[in-house]
Each structure stands twice: as C-alpha cells, then as structure tokens.
Amino acid sequence: MTLPLPSRTSHKVALLEASLSADVLLVEQLVRLGYEGLVIAGFGAGHLSELWAEVLKPIAAKIPVIVGSRTGAGYTAFNTYGFKGGEIDLTRKGLHMSGFLCPRKARLLLWLLIGCGQQSRLKNFLRDLSVGG
C-alpha cells in the first residue's frame, strides 16, 4: 500500500495509554483542543474500562479513534469479547481495532491518512494490514 506525501503536517493525533482507574478529563478535551485523531494503548487484546468506552463513543463520531494493545506483541481481538469496553462494544461505538499494529505504528498510520485527507479509508487499511499481517 502506498500513500502520497501528506499535503499537511500540522495536524495533531494523540496517543494515550489506558490504565486502571484512569480518569477521562484529558480524553474529553481532545476534540476541543484541536486533535483530529486518537490512538489508545488498551489492555490485553485492546480493551478499555467501561468509563473510557462510554466517553469515547461521542468522540469517535467526530474523529477517528483506534485502540491497540499495549502488551508489545500480538493482535487486538476483533470479535471475541462483548463486555462493555471489549472490542465488540468498542467497534459498535465507532472505534477501530489496530490488529497487529502497535499503538505507535497505528498513530503513524492515522497521522499519515489524515495528512493525505484519506482518513475515511482507515477501516480498509487496518483490515488489509491485519489480513496481510
């Protein structure tokens, strides 16, 4: 897959790590602060707390949100866990699972897609990378 050079480079994509009992104050302010994308290093196979999952639903309606695994190896789950904050719940809320991409690589991909004006293709890129990975 090849993308053109980004036509802009000043856009902001946040990378945050989820942790137990983490508050959501910063997450809630991202759109207002001008961020155009968010990548989260989630638990295990790419899960989040119930609180984060609820707060991220309206954010994912405004900007692309990707959840990766902070474990350092392996895939995020795609269709295994249905609890609140599990990947089935998160994708229903409009979030994207990063597949085998670690959160840092997922952030680079999202930053590049936004810079090229092709963020609408995010789901396809993540799918193709997971199939090819």
Mind listing the pLDDT tens digit for each residue in 8-52? 999 999 999 998 888 999 999 999 999 999 999 999 999 999 999
What is this structure's pTM? 0.93
Structural domain contains residue 52:
yes
Tell me the C-alpha to C-alpha distance, in Å, between residue 60 and each of 3, 4, 67: 23, 25, 11
- Kindly give the pairing relationship between strand 35-42 and strand 65-69: parallel
Question: Is residue 130 within 8 Å of 87, Cβ to Cβ?
Answer: no
Q: CA-to-CA distance for 36 and 18, rounded, in angstroms?
A: 19
Structural domain contains residue 94:
yes
Least-confidence region, from 4-18, 51-65, 70-84, 114-128: 70-84
Structural domain contains residue 1:
no
Structural domain contains residue 7:
no
Q: CA-to-CA distance for 11 and 75, rounded, in angstroms?
A: 27
Q: Quick one: which of 113, 70, 61, 51 has its CA closest to 92?
A: 61
Structural domain contains residue 2:
no
| 89: CATH | 3.40.50.40
Domain extent at residue 23: 12-132
Structural domain contains residue 3:
no
Instruction: Say what angle helices 103-115 and 122-132 make with each other, to 10 degrees.
Output: 140
Structural domain contains residue 5:
no
Q: CA-to-CA distance for 129 and 100, rounded, in angstroms?
A: 8
Chain centroid offset of residue 58 CA: 14
Structural domain contains residue 22:
yes
Is the per-residue pLDDT at 107 higher than 70?
A: yes
Question: Is residue 16 within 8 Å of 40, Cβ to Cβ?
Answer: yes
pLDDT band at 133 (very low <50, low <70, confident <90, very high): very low
Number of domains in the chain: 1
